Amino acid sequence: MDLQRLEGILSRYACQPADLIPVLQDIQDSYNYLPKDELKVVAERLHLPLAQVFSVATFFTMFSLVPKGKHVCKVCVGTTCHLKGGQRLAESLSNRLGVDIGYTTKDMNFTLETVACLGSCAQAPVMMIDDTYYARVTVDKVPKILKKYQ
Ligand code: FES
């Protein structure tokens, strides 16, 4: 456990129970996931039951209990994107990255996920890598997009 890194995060807060979500967000940003040992310390320091910390950590999709890749690729397979080839796009990414949807590449560079809607239905099919949106993505655009992150 990297206690020094965790203490750096906790030192920014008063360590009240209400700080739980912001603390978890900072840990997620720093570690790219929520390590279980760190969650035990968070529970102690915020005076919360560990079960409550895990409950919050597993409720929100922005948190992950397993390490994610350096880049998170989210492909929309919502209704509009599905009709415009979103599933085909997800399969293409899966084949090109050599990883099933929901998993992380062996080199830890990409985590591939699907989502129900990215809120840009008019530009379907849509995908995101980290904070960058890619609109009207066709399968033939995938290699050029991925190259930016390799
Ligand atoms: S269904 Fe894909 S952005 Fe809404």
Interval between CA 84 and ligand 1 midpoint (Å): 10
Same domain, 40 and 89: no
22 within some domain: yes
What range defines the domain where residue 78 resides? 71-147
d(CA 21, CA 85): 35
CATH of the domain at 136: 3.40.30.10
Describe the strand order of the beta sheet including 71-76 as a list of residue ranges: 110-115, 71-76, 127-129, 132-134
Q: What's the number of domains the chain is made of?
A: 2
The pLDDT tens digits of the residues spanning 20-77 come to 999 999 999 899 899 999 999 999 999 999 999 999 999 998 898 988 899 999 999 9
Nearest ligand 1 atom to the CA of 81 is 2
Same domain, 34 and 81: no
